[in-house]
């Protein structure tokens, strides 16, 4: 049975958030109120050799131990097959060994939350009511999902998709914020479309954040959801049918 530690007189959870679906490795520890420790590495680095040391570094920063973590969370993709295997396998193993709950979070959801934070910060959330992450899936295809927001949360409007960029473009309308690693490749094409108004979050602001993964996982856990660590697998989308092999409705 999962246990939640008591700190002082209030029940306070320590949540680990991890994502290894991109070239960036992100590890965060949060509680219900704030980010306690945050680690990010950029570039094509070996997640397999960096992940566990990064978790240990984060735990040490707050003078805790790995078994003090109450809830484990991991970005399940879509993204790099190798990176996802490393992240999901490692975090699953920790949850199993410590008998702690685990929640898998679709990486596109985390990226879309980055978009919402950007729109709120720039006071554009009333104008750009849709958010569309687009990640490179190679062979002129993208991983994507279309979201709308109500100013406070994101709501999925499509499945998690793997499809050519031109097919995605035909789905779109309204005012949309795009973010992801293929913006430089498709920006001009998206700007020249007449069926929607495009804005872009350029640079690395799209990268998944462990803290966002952890916050989403905490919300889902409070709703009564946790995943079976023995069954949790990465979200792989397959070009042969473009169907989702993992889809968790919010």
pLDDT digit string, tens, across residues 107-147: 999 999 999 999 999 999 999 999 999 999 988 899 999 99
- Count other Cβ atoms within 10 Å, centred on residue 124: 14
pLDDT at 164: 94
CB-based burial label for 214 (10 Å; 0-12, 13-18, 19+): buried
CB 175 within 8 A of CB 197: yes
Number of domains in the chain: 2
User: Distance between alpha carbon 185 and the CA centroid of its chain, in Å?
Assistant: 22
Q: Is the sign of the CA dihedral 226, 25, 39, 210 positive or negative? A: negative
pLDDT for position 245: 44
pLDDT over 90, % of the chain: 79
My answer on whether 94 and 72 are in the same domain is yes
Looking at the structure, do residues 36 and 51 belong to the same domain, yes or no? yes
Segment 166-208, tens digit of pLDDT: 999 999 999 999 999 999 999 988 988 888 999 999 889 999 9
Residues 46 and 167 reside in one and the same domain: no
Does residue 53 sit in the same domain as residue 94? Answer: yes
Residue 231 forms part of a structural domain: no
State whether 60 and 129 are in the same domain.
Answer: no
Mark whether 117 and 55 lie in a shared domain. no
**Co-location of 124 and 195 in the same domain:** yes
Lowest-confidence pick of 24-38, 179-193, 213-227: 179-193
Q: Taking CA 231 as the corner, what is the angle to CA 6 and CA 134, rounded to the nearest 5 degrees?
A: 90
Query: Residue 243 falls within a domain, yes or no?
Result: no
User: Is the same domain home to 77 and 161?
Assistant: no
Burial of residue 151 (CB within 10 Å: 0-12, 13-18, 19+) is exposed
End-to-end CA distance of the chain: 25
Under 8 Å between Cβ of 16 and 41: no
d(CA 237, CA 22): 15
- CATH code of the domain containing 30: 3.30.420.40
Does pTM surpass 0.85?
yes
Confidence at 85, pLDDT banded by 50, 70, 90: very high
Question: 187 is in which domain, residue-wise?
Answer: 108-201
- pLDDT of 11: 60
Asked whether residue 249 is domain-assigned, the answer is no
89 belongs to a structural domain: yes
Q: Are residues 39 and 99 in the same domain?
A: yes
pLDDT value of position 6? 36
Q: Inter-axis angle of helices 107-121 and 210-222, to 10 degrees? A: 110
For the sheet containing 15-19, what is the strand order?
35-41, 25-30, 15-19, 71-75, 102-105
Q: At residue 1, does pLDDT exceed 80?
A: no
* Domain match, 113 and 21 both: no
- Max Cα–Cα distance, the chain, nearest Å: 57
Between CA 67 and CA 104 the distance in angstroms is 19
Residue 25 neighbours by CB under 8 Å, 6+ apart:
19, 39, 40, 41, 45, 47, 50, 51, 54
């Amino acid at each position: 049975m999962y246990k939640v530690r008591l700190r002082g007189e209030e029940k306070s959870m320590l949540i680990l958030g991890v994502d290894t679906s991109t070239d960036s490795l992100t590890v965060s520890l949060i509680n219900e109120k704030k980010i306690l420790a945050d680690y990010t590495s950029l570039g094509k680095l070996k997640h397999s050799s960096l992940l566990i040391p990064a978790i240990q570094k984060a735990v040490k920063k707050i003078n805790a131990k790995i078994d003090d973590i109450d809830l484990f969370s991991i970005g399940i993709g879509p993204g790099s097959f190798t990176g996802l295997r490393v992240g999901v396998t490692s975090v699953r193993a920790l949850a199993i060994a410590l008998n702690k709950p685990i929640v898998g979070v679709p990486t596109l959801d985390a990226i879309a939350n980055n978009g919402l934070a950007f729109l709120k910060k720039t006071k554009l959330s009333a104008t750009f009511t849709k958010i569309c992450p687009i990640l490179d899936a190679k062979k002129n295809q993208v991983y994507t999902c279309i979201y709308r927001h109500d100013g406070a949360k994101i709501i999925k409007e499509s499945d998690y998709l793997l499809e050519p960029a031109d097919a995605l473009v035909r789905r779109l309308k309204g005012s949309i914020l795009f973010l992801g690693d293929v913006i430089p490749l498709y920006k001009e094409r998206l700007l020249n479309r007449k069926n929607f108004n495009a804005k872009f979050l350029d640079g690395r602001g799209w990268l998944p954040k462990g803290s966002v993964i952890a916050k989403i996982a905490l919300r889902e856990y409070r709703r009564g959801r946790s995943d079976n660590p023995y069954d949790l697998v990465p979200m792989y989308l397959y070009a042969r049918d473009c169907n989702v092999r993992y889809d968790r409705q919010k």
